[in-house]
């Protein structure tokens, strides 16, 4: 039995919950949102609900043995970025840096977010909300997909920046999520980077990127001698 965690109880969160229930009958599906009214509406559809900020809940559950198998983000933030900040807060300071212009120039149809995010897409049109993300072609154009976005992002080699990519996988028409083990892998890669990180979440066609700098709050232990003993 799979454990599915859906962050967001709005229109897209409810769609994701219904999609997960159809694909994996009998699975444990939990929807998390801080909006009480939205939670009540989802609860009417016979889904389990927790009324709490999604990223805070995710950070706590990912530390437990019974962590979810899948995380489906349906809230208007870059969940991987916010989750890493939440996880590292006790021992690290995470700075959001501007995504370098040269990096943005490598990517198609980019758009800046208000929180330092850079969005990119193969599409210069509105994608159908029931896209099945076929392997070789674009659902909308019927033509070959010009690039696999998560592969393009993973291959970025720019100065001393390290590209870390969380791959979003299709769980149903127009609904994507990622495995919790992939989320943990991204955290490990970010901590091991030793340099600014280009952190992206992306499927085959679309993605979002933040540039992060992780700084330890723990000062190295220095052994000193008393001046009088010299």
Examine the domain organization and report whether 63 and 147 are in the same domain: no
For residue 62, give the CATH number of its domain.
Answer: 3.40.50.720
Examine the domain organization and report whether 184 and 96 are in the same domain: yes
Among 76, 97, 130, give the residue marking a domain's end: 76
Q: How confident is the model at residue 153, as a pLDDT? A: 98
Examine the domain organization and report whether 119 and 60 are in the same domain: no
Q: Are 175 and 11 in contact (CB under 8 A)?
A: no
Range of the domain at 48: 1-76
Position 230 in a domain: no
Examine the domain organization and report whether 88 and 198 are in the same domain: yes
Among 61, 76, 91, give the residue marking a domain's end: 76
Examine the domain organization and report whether 134 and 82 are in the same domain: yes
How many residues are recorded in the chain? 230
> What's the pTM?
0.91
Among 16, 44, 76, give the residue marking a domain's end: 76
Examine the domain organization and report whether 184 and 89 are in the same domain: yes
Cα-based distances in Å from 59 to 26, 66, 180, 208:
25, 13, 11, 20
How do the pLDDT tens digits run along the chain, 230 residues long? 799 999 999 999 999 999 999 999 999 999 999 999 999 999 999 999 999 999 999 999 999 999 999 999 999 999 999 999 999 988 999 999 999 999 999 999 999 998 999 999 999 998 988 888 888 899 899 999 999 999 999 999 999 999 999 999 999 999 999 999 999 999 999 999 988 999 999 999 999 999 999 998 865 554 444 444 33
Examine the domain organization and report whether 104 and 186 are in the same domain: yes
Position 61 in a domain: yes
Tokens of 184: 């943990």
Examine the domain organization and report whether 211 and 100 are in the same domain: yes
Position 229 in a domain: no
Helices (H), ranges, 76-133: 79-88, 101-105
Examine the domain organization and report whether 85 and 67 are in the same domain: no
95 phi/psi in degrees, rounded to 5:
-95, 135
How many domains, the chain? 2
20 phi/psi in degrees, rounded to 5:
-65, -40
Examine the domain organization and report whether 4 and 42 are in the same domain: yes
Measured in whole angstroms, the distance separating CA 59 from the mean position of its chain's CA atoms is: 12
Position 183 in a domain: yes
Question: What are the strands of the beta sheet with 28-33, ordered from one edge?
Answer: 48-51, 28-33, 3-7, 70-73, 175-179, 169-172
Position 165 in a domain: yes
Position 220 in a domain: no
């Amino acid at each position: 039995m799979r454990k599915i965690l859906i962050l967001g109880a709005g229109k897209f969160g409810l769609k994701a919950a219904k999609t997960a229930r159809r694909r994996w009958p009998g699975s444990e599906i939990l929807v998390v949102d801080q909006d009480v009214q939205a939670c009540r509406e989802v609860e009417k559809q016979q889904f389990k609900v927790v009324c709490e900020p999604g990223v805070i809940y995710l950070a706590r559950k990912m530390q437990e043995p019974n962590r979810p198998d899948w995380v489906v983000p349906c809230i208007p933030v870059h969940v991987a970025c916010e989750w890493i900040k939440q996880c590292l807060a006790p021992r690290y300071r995470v700075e959001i840096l501007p995504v370098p212009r040269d990096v943005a120039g490598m990517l198609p149809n980019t758009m800046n977010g208000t929180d330092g995010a850079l969005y990119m897409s193969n599409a210069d049109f509105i994608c159908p909300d029931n896209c099945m993300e076929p392997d070789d072609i674009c659902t909308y154009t019927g033509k070959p997909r010009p690039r696999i976005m998560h592969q393009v992002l993973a291959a970025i080699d720019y100065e001393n920046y390290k590209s870390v990519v969380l791959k979003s996988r299709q769980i149903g028409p127009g609904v994507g999520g990622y495995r919790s083990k992939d989320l943990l892998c991204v955290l490990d890669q970010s901590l091991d980077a030793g340099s600014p990180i280009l952190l992206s979440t992306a499927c085959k066609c679309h993605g979002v990127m933040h540039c992060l700098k992780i700084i330890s709050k723990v000062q190295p232990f220095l052994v000193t001698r008393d001046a009088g003993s010299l």
